[in-house]
Amino acid sequence: MTFTRFVPWRVAMALPAASLAAAALFSTAHAQFDPPSTVFGSIADSGGVVPAGVTVEAYIGDTLCGTKGRTEFTGDGAARVTVYVVDVVSESQIAGCGTVGREVRVKIGDRFATQTAKWNPGPVQLDVTFGSASPAVSPTLSSKRASPPAGARPTACSIRASIRPISSICSIRRRDKPSSPAPWEW
């Protein structure tokens, strides 16, 4: 039987080396970028409707800071509006781009809008007009809830719906009665 003599200095030398190797192997350090400014709004053009799918870019000075933006339609019939959205990156991603208060110019297709926005992280609304067009009304979400008809008896689901969104149990009941347009009619 052979015994290996324990040598403490070998362990003392191996531990730091192993620690450094593990740190290098499992390190997940990534660059942290500031959030972008998401510039969005409606588009009105006295020359006609701006089609969906037009490229939208954003510039700060002469630096291209926002690509991959597109126009889309929202609404139906006479309420149909062309809207756009483009993310404008921060200075931490591209030198010369967004810091709070910098002026953002929006280019839709091959035309720059005369209106500008101020860069701020998060959503920034900028409704754009070309020519003598009046600004289009951007659709908004409403938090107003539908009221039950006069004489309707409230149910547990309709009471909860008036306080917060309908719970999953109410949604299950609604699937059982797909023709029912409102929770108070169950």
Q: Give the C-alpha separation, 86 to 58, whole Å.
A: 7
CATH number among 1.10.3470, 2.40.160, 1.10.287, 2.60.40, domain 37-130: 2.60.40
Residue 140, C-beta contacts closer than 8 angstroms, at least 6 positions apart: none
Greater confidence, 53 or 150? 53
Which token pair is 2?
A: 């052979």
Q: What is the pLDDT of residues 108-126, one digit of tens each?
A: 999 999 999 999 999 999 9
The residues of the chain that CATH labels 2.60.40 are 37-130
AA letter at 47: G
Q: What is the pLDDT of residues 74-120, one digit of tens each?
A: 988 888 999 999 999 999 999 999 999 999 999 999 999 999 999 99
Closest CA to 42 of 56, 30, 32: 56
Q: What is the pLDDT of residues 20-54, one digit of tens each?
A: 555 555 555 556 888 999 999 999 999 999 999 99
Greater confidence, 137 or 177? 137
Task: Judge contact between 180 and 170, C-beta under 8 A.
Answer: no
